[in-house]
Structure 1
Amino acid sequence: MSLIRRIMLGRRSFCTTVARKAEDIMKNPDCRSWQLSWRVSYLANSIGDLDTAARYSRLAVFSKPDDEPEVTVHTCETIIGSMVRAKRHKDAYDLYDYFFNKHTLKPNSRCCNHIIESRLQQGLVDEALDFHRTVKSMVPDHPSEASLRVLTKGLVHSGRFDLAQALLKGSSEMFPDHVAFNNLIKGFLDVGNLDKANHLFEQFKRSLSSSIANHKFTWDFFYRGYPRYENRVAFLMVTFMEYWFKQGKEVEAMECYNQSVLSNKLLVCPETGNALLEVLLKYGQKSHAWALYNDMLAQCTTCLDYVTVRIMVNECFDMGRCSEAIETYYKATAKVSYLSNEYIILRCCENGMLSEAESLLAYSIGRGDKFIKATTFKTIMNAYIKAGKIDDALKTSNTMFDVALKEVCEWFNPL
């Protein structure tokens, strides 16, 4: 069976035994770290064939020692994370064991976080904590901010508020993470404990101010786009804002917005802006949401990302303003270097706008987008079939194979 056919059919073919040499996995293996990483990412993210991606990923243990080790570990991280997102927990564990126990690769914190998240998703809280404690002394960059986020979210979801608080207290040597604190604050608000939520909010602000004063960060911390003090505080204020909306107290909710954004004339980062937009739209403050979005769009490209645009495009579709949705997307492309349009294509197909969906797909292909998912093509094909336009469905099918063949030749060419 040809490679392209195996990719499209998603045939389960990766081996589960411990390979002693690369040829035990496949014939003529290419174990170069960068090429292997690209192939695994393509198979997992674009094609969605996790079995073939897993088979290729097992070649990572045979990469040359002088290859870039961080690229090799990224390959492991990609496939383990993909398995967890697909709820294939046993496969994720098997791969982790294969890479880091049965062979000599060293995991990074992100690989460990996937396993912790997997166990928390299954309600195995104690096992997740045991694994966290074990790798804490073995993996240099663990725990990271992402580790605290995964753990606090899972612990709060399991009702283990005390353990989540202890975890944050025990990470005092780290820069205080707003998302981890927000997970716990939201948990307390969800159970009606406003006093405890306010106490944590004040604790976060004191800890953040102290860390900044003591320079508990490297100088590239802010350079790499991490939100500054005001944005981190505003991110937490969004949670209180939603809490008041849920209580039917619009005045108190909008006071949170005024204090954190309007009165400070805050130049929001994408993370904070996106959280604000979702809450404003959810509770009917549409004029404020559009005003905020237009400010973000006008001020600078660092104020918004693809999620920001998707939020507002979906709002247009939800309101039945389909043409405005597409116009919003194209207007944003002048500000954001790369915007996925898969979700717009889906919404266009849902609304019978097949020519617009085809134009958006052609736009993606024309600008040379990498990793156009097979599901995007299938969405258009299914919409054409439903509309009785079989010839158009076949045309899209041919385009899908042309694009896939080109990508396979690029990612799997051994030269």
Structure 2
Amino acid sequence: MRVYRKIIETAPFSPSHVTYRHLTKGFIDSGRIDEAMDLLREMLNKGQGADSIVYNNLISGFLNLGNLEKANELFDELKERCVVYDGVVNATFMEWWFSQGKENNAMESYKSLLDRNFRMTPATCNALLEVLLKYGKKPEAWALFEQMLDNHQTPTVQAVNSDTFNVMVNECFKLGKFSEAIDTFKRVGTHPKSKAFIMDVAGYNNIITRFCENEMLDEAEKLFGEMSTKSLPPDVTTFRTLIDAYLKVEKIDDALRLFNQMADSGMRVVMSFGTRVFSELISNGKAAECVPILIKMGEKDPKPDFLIYDVVARGLLNEGLLDLSKDVIDQMMKASVGITPALQNFVSEAFGQAGRGEEIERVLNADRWGYAALRPHRTTSNGRTTAFRTQSNVRTIAFCIQ
């Protein structure tokens, strides 16, 4: 609220409906509905129109408190003030009536909404679909879905979005109707003016995830390939879903292929995912194949996390692949990722045992910053003096921040 008041005082613009949507929901979720009501009145006093989402937040809050009278009062006020009502509050009332075991009241609310022939947004219809499916009104849900498809007459009217298809596709998977899920995913309205919805990446990700959950990877891969034919580049979620699914069923070559493709695309591989996938690949005998993937990742920004390098370097050394591990360490040092003393000691010991200690020391201590690497000395417990590597202040600070 301090931030909100500061914006009111100093910003050259007024808060929008979106501001009040978040603030009212935040107060209601925190059990402070009276302050949410104050914000509703403030929104109206500032000349903002009646926003159905803001009202819906309050109505839902009062219904959850069992105050049906106040919820109805706000609903009547919304209908008086709102120039175009899209029906979102009816979904809230339906959910509440169903939860109270009063199915007739819920369906009366739904019927009254349909009788008014409002042009509802996809988000509102999606909420209605979810409520109908949740409480067993499947014929009504499918009828609404078909109506939405018929009404989708772009560019004039957009009646569906990818979330619409996700809701219905998920229902098919829930019932084990996999072929019907594909049909639903590609369904088009029957009205002469209805147009096919141009599916986005989020819609493909959802159905691919559902197939992966059911270990139907051929179907998932087919949809993955279909994306490229529609000029839809897979995103991080697409790759992660498929790679995890392949690893789960031990299709290591397929996981490696897609992980390599992900690296080619330049997408960022976060630490948790990267370490997990590289570890799985290495444990399945693919240590050498990991190197070109990591090298490609390291050639782009942001650089891989040092723990990813750690996993691959150790895996290579454990397999005796010293030349490849040297390439990985060299890129790690050039990228200024930072190296832990534990990994440095592990690398030095492995190369030392192979009689190549000086070779790796040149990599570890190469002049990356235009001045000689610092090598102060310390005395060990047995009295022997040994050198250890100290990174520059800049490198150390970067490492600590990371």
TM-score by shorter chain over 0.5: yes
Is 1:191 the counterpart of 2:65 in the alignment?
yes
> 1:240 maps to which residue?
93
Bigger relative contact order, structure 1 or 2 (CA pairs below 8 A, ≥6 apart): 1
CA distance in 2, matches of 1:265, 1:191: 31
Kindly state the Cα deviation for residue 300 of structure 1 after the two structures are TM-superposed: 1.7
Of 180, 189, 197, 1:336 maps to 197
Contact 1:274 1:308 in 2 (8 A): yes
> 1:165 maps to which residue?
37
CA distance in 1, matches of 2:69, 2:135: 24
Matched position secondary structure for 2:266:
helix
CA distance in 2, matches of 1:288, 1:404: 45
Letter aligned with residue 185 of structure 2? Y
Matched position secondary structure for 2:75:
helix
> 1:292 maps to which residue?
144
CA distance in 1, matches of 2:30, 2:231: 44
TM-score by length of 2: 0.61
Q: Deviations over 1:176-209 (max 9, x none)?
A: 110011011001101101011111111112222x
Is 1:178 the counterpart of 2:52 in the alignment?
yes
Q: Deviations over 1:335-390 (max 9, x none)?
A: 222322111111110001101111111112232224x3223212212211221221
Contact 1:268 1:296 in 2 (8 A): no
Is 1:201 the counterpart of 2:75 in the alignment?
yes
> 2:260 maps to which residue?
398
Matched position secondary structure for 2:186:
helix
Letter aligned with residue 151 of structure 1? L
Pair 325,294 (structure 1): closer, same or farther in 2 beyond 3 Å: same
> 2:225 maps to which residue?
362
Is 1:255 the counterpart of 2:108 in the alignment?
yes
Contact 1:149 1:180 in 2 (8 A): yes
Is 1:318 the counterpart of 2:174 in the alignment?
yes
Kindly state the Cα deviation for residue 134 of structure 1 after the two structures are TM-superposed: 0.7
Of 122, 128, 142, 1:270 maps to 122
Pair 254,272 (structure 1): closer, same or farther in 2 beyond 3 Å: same
Structure (1/2) with the larger helix percentage = 1
Kindly state the Cα deviation for residue 332 of structure 1 after the two structures are TM-superposed: 5.3
Pair 140,364 (structure 1): closer, same or farther in 2 beyond 3 Å: farther
> 2:27 maps to which residue?
155
Letter aligned with residue 54 of structure 2? A
CA distance in 2, matches of 1:149, 1:392: 45
CA distance in 2, matches of 1:307, 1:286: 17
- Aligned-residue Cα RMSD (Å) equals 2.3
Letter aligned with residue 244 of structure 1? W
Of 5, 15, 19, 1:143 maps to 15
Is 1:305 the counterpart of 2:161 in the alignment?
yes
CA distance in 2, matches of 1:316, 1:277: 13
CA distance in 2, matches of 1:141, 1:278: 37
CA distance in 1, matches of 2:31, 2:127: 24
Of 188, 211, 215, 1:352 maps to 215
Kindly state the Cα deviation for residue 139 of structure 1 after the two structures are TM-superposed: 2.5
Of 378, 388, 402, 2:240 maps to 378
CA distance in 2, matches of 1:401, 1:321: 35
Deviates more, 1:334-343 or 1:129-138: 334-343
Letter aligned with residue 196 of structure 2? K
Letter aligned with residue 336 of structure 1? F
Letter aligned with residue 204 of structure 1? L
Contact 1:377 1:397 in 2 (8 A): yes
Matched position secondary structure for 1:303:
coil
Kindly state the Cα deviation for residue 277 of structure 1 after the two structures are TM-superposed: 0.5
CA distance in 2, matches of 1:199, 1:331: 40
Of structures 1 and 2, the larger Rg is shown by 2
Contact 1:309 1:332 in 2 (8 A): no
Matched position secondary structure for 1:137:
helix
CA distance in 2, matches of 1:139, 1:356: 52
Q: Deviations over 1:115-160 (max 9, x none)?
A: xxxxxxxxxxxxxx11101112322333101001000100101111
Kindly state the Cα deviation for residue 254 of structure 1 after the two structures are TM-superposed: 0.2
CA distance in 1, matches of 2:146, 2:206: 21
Letter aligned with residue 289 of structure 1? A
Q: Deviations over 1:379-413 (max 9, x none)?
A: 212211221221222222222223337xx9xx99x
Matched position secondary structure for 2:187:
helix
